[in-house]
Amino acid sequence: MCKQFIFWATEYLNYYSLIFWGIKLFLKKYDVKTGRKEWVENVIIIVVSAPVVWLCADNYRFAVYSNFMSHILILYMLLFIAIYTKTKINKIFALIVIYVYDMRMIDLLIVAVIHEVNRISRVVELDLIHMGYSRSIFLLLISIGYYTVYQIILKTKLFGYLEINIVYQWILCIYSFFGVLCFCRVYRFSYTEKLIQYWIFYLVCLFIVCGIFMFYFIGVKEEEKNRLLIMRNDMLESNYQSLCKAYDENRMMYHDFKNHMLVVNELIQEEKNKEALEYINTYIHRTLSINHRVGSGCKIIDIIVNCKNAEAVEKCIKFTYEIDYIGEIGIADIDMCALLANLLDNAIEASEKIDEEKRRISLKIKRVNDMLFIWSENSMKEIGKERSNFFRTNKENKILHGLGMKSIDNVVRKYDGHKEYEIQKDRFQIYISIPTN
């Protein structure tokens, strides 16, 4: 009785872990904001998943392993995530298939290795297939393995780049499917003599495929790094040129100051007070426009905002900002560049797509104790209920565009920060908070 209870408890735990951590992984990766507390979200996943878990676990009474149950898991997770995240099914299908099949492959690999050990050993004999304590311990370790895989994927950037590269998605999707189809027969004790050789061949091919993808991953990362360096250098050059221009204009105005005062004096003597006031206001406005530059005490923030402000003005975008004295912060220049420059680039790109009179960007940056708060709002083209394509671009290099928002996410994650955004009909708001210590 105790053996059966432990077995069925671990059997249910196994499927719950596979489904729960898989769904949580996609919700985290897609940065889903529902307004619910996390424990409420967890309860929803557990309750809604109960019938599927029962169906998969109870299937053991008829077949110790069934590919049909894998298809049920994929279909359920696909529908749950698509409904919960309002994401198109075709965007997440291959990724969910890869997740489910690869998790099942871990199961099959361990069973195959232990099965081979049992075949050649006279001492060790573990039954990981039939009901018993060995099977229960195995399922418990597999459940812990699902959580470990969840944590690893959550902290790595490979998932994001795999999401962008559709070709690799389908390569791994099909490859995983055939792997499960081939090796699931270990549960039926089929072709055991050459099982490990087949597994070695399969894993070697998998390492080759993953190695090619790693070269792609490294190449994209290097391209992203170069893009940020070029962006920073361009902004440094632009900032230098802007300072030189402002210095020259200030020098000219100082040189002409005497003449301006003579004109004002002449107008007052002729009792043309209205004209004198208009002349003074024009002079003040021109002076302010020359010297209207950010001075937050943080060099990289000043450079980025000043440059993006100039770019926005050139593109007829009304750019307003409210920036406190920030001072030195514990965020590397390259990371701040990736965060703030990409944030403003996205805002400028979105504002460019609408009529000039509607274009606007608002930026607020404040520092409260050891926290840096960044709030940005920009106008954009009106969108309907379908918002899953919001971050798509019309640029030729779509991969690098996709990396813009991912660069922001990576910086926020690197410094243990927090990000929230809201998409309204014709407006986009984003709020970021990052520790500065």
Residue 370: Cβ-neighbour burial (10 angstroms; 0-12, 13-18, 19+): exposed
Q: Is the pLDDT of residue 16 over 90?
A: yes
For the ranges 187-196, 376-385, 405-414, which has the lowest average pLDDT?
A: 187-196
Return d(Cα 56, Cα 4) in angstroms, integer: 17
Rank 143-147, 208-212, 382-386, 426-430 by mean pLDDT and report only the highest: 143-147
- Average pLDDT score over residue span 174-201: 82
pLDDT at position 396: 47
- Average pLDDT score over residue span 306-314: 81
Return d(Cα 126, Cα 122) in angstroms, integer: 11
Q: Is the pLDDT of residue 19 over 90?
A: yes
Helix axes 195-255, 89-120, angle to 10 degrees: 140
pTM check: above 0.85? no
Residues in CB range of 254: below 8 A, 6 or more apart: none
pLDDT at position 51: 94
Residue 129 tokens read as: 């297939």
- Average pLDDT score over residue span 284-292: 55
Return d(Cα 106, Cα 121) in angstroms, integer: 22
Measured in residues, the chain has a length of: 437
For residue 334, the Cα-to-chain-centroid distance in whole angstroms is 18
- Average pLDDT score over residue span 285-313: 72
Q: Is the pLDDT of residue 256 over 70?
A: no
Selected residue with higher pLDDT from 233 and 201: 201
Return d(Cα 115, Cα 195) in angstroms, integer: 9
Q: Is the pLDDT of residue 130 over 50?
A: yes
Selected residue with higher pLDDT from 159 and 370: 370
Residue 190 backbone zone (phi > 0: left; psi -120 to 50: alpha; other: beta): beta
For the chain, give the secondary structure using H, E and C: CHHHHHHHHHHHHHHHHHHHHHHHHHHHHCCCCCCCCHHHHHHHHHHHHHHHHHHHHHHHHCCCCCHHHHHHHHHHHHHHHHHHHCCCHHHHHHHHHHHHHHHHHHHHHHHHHHHHHHHHCCCCCCCCCCCCHHHHHHHHHHHHHHHHHHHHHHHCCHHHHHHHCHHHHHHHHHHHHHHHHHHHHHHHCCCCCCHHHHHHHHHHHHHHHHHHHHHHHHHHHHHHHHHHHHHHHHHHHHHHHHHHHHHHHHHHHHHCHHHHHHHHHHHHHCCCHHHHHHHHHHHHHHHHHHHCCCCCCCHHHHHHHHHHHHHHHHCCCEEEEEECCCCCCCCCHHHHHHHHHHHHHHHHHHHHCCCHHHCEEEEEEEEECCEEEEEEEEECCCCCCCCCCCCCCCCCCHHHHHHHHHHHHHHHHHCCCEEEEEECCCEEEEEEEEECC
pLDDT at position 231: 65
Name 422's bridge partners.
429
Q: Is the pLDDT of residue 101 over 60?
A: yes
Question: Are 129 and 190 a contacting pair, CB within 8 Å?
Answer: no
pLDDT at position 392: 47
For the ranges 7-21, 72-86, 373-387, which has the lowest average pLDDT?
A: 373-387
* 206-216 pLDDT, tens digit each: 888 888 877 77
Give the number of other CB atoms < 10 A from CB of residue 12.
18
Q: What percent of the chain has pLDDT over 90?
A: 20
Return d(Cα 127, Cα 118) in angstroms, integer: 9
For the ranges 5-14, 245-254, 275-284, which has the lowest average pLDDT?
A: 245-254
**Cα–Cα nearest to 226, from 40, 68, 432, 407:** 407
Residue 13: Cβ-neighbour burial (10 angstroms; 0-12, 13-18, 19+): buried
Give the number of other CB atoms < 10 A from CB of residue 378.
25
For the ranges 13-27, 47-61, 244-258, 415-429, which has the lowest average pLDDT?
A: 244-258
pLDDT at position 194: 77
Using pLDDT thresholds of 50, 70 and 90, give the confidence band for residue 165: confident
